[in-house]
Amino acid sequence: MNILIIDDEKSIRYSLKIGIQKLEGVNVHVAQSGEEGLEIIRNKKIDLAIIDIKLPGIDGIEVLETINRLKIETTVIMITYISEVRLAVKAMKLGAYDYVTKPFKIADVVDSINSLRDFINKKTNIKRYESNELIGSSDSTEKIRQIIKRITEKNLNTSVLIMGESGTGKEIVAKSIAKNLGED
């Protein structure tokens, strides 16, 4: 996962980079301005951008709007002071995945990244489910697919009772649910 940190405060860039680099499978890039960050985003495949809302020149909201306008597939986590929460809400409405308020612990950002990774894994599992061994295109089969999708997308922490006659595919449905929840 390629992660870009955009913050004008050197100490925050450095702290985040050191903390995030400890995660397995990440490459961390840094930028000190919105302009520099957008240049990196345009030239590299950045999976996640962690952006300070208050930047000199192009601010974090403008960076997010540019990412959206250019249809670049980069997930965004915003950094903001507690007094700027209204801007964080605006960022969330513009499609930011999450926001972290200053002062923060590196663990807060790492938790958000891990949450994003879990979300991506679940989305991948849902896509896999769409091509799994549940065969058919009847209305009944499509209803079953939609139910499985609802259960796995929302990660409902609940028991599921699958009822039906022998040979109707109960085991296939159960395996599909387990597989999509990463429990196979």
Domain boundaries, the chain: 2-122, 130-180
**Nearest by Cα to 3 from 16, 12, 15, 11:** 16
What is the spatial distance between Cα 93 and Cα 90, in angstroms, rounded to a whole number? 5
The answer to whether residue 82 scores a pLDDT higher than 90 is no
* Residue 65: per-residue pLDDT: 97
Q: How confident is the model at residue 15 (pLDDT cuts 50, 70, 90)?
A: very high
Q: What is the phi/psi pair of residue 78, to 5°? A: -95, 150
* Residue 155: per-residue pLDDT: 63
Which residues, listed in sequence order, are joined to residue 31 by a DSSP beta bridge?
Answer: 6
* Cα 83 to Cα 19, 52, 78, 96, distances in angstroms: 25, 14, 14, 18
Higher pLDDT, 27 or 169: 27
Give the pTM.
Answer: 0.68
Range name among 47-56, 64-73, 87-96, 135-144 with the lowest pLDDT average:
135-144
* Cα 19 to Cα 44, 76, 78, 98, 137, distances in angstroms: 22, 18, 17, 18, 48
Q: What is the mean pLDDT of the chain?
A: 86
CATH code for 2-122?
3.40.50.2300
Q: How confident is the model at residue 106 (pLDDT cuts 50, 70, 90)?
A: very high
Q: How confident is the model at residue 127 (pLDDT cuts 50, 70, 90)?
A: low
* Residue 31: per-residue pLDDT: 98
Q: How confident is the model at residue 117 (pLDDT cuts 50, 70, 90)?
A: confident
The answer to whether residue 130 scores a pLDDT higher than 70 is no
* Residue 134: per-residue pLDDT: 66
Q: How confident is the model at residue 126 (pLDDT cuts 50, 70, 90)?
A: low
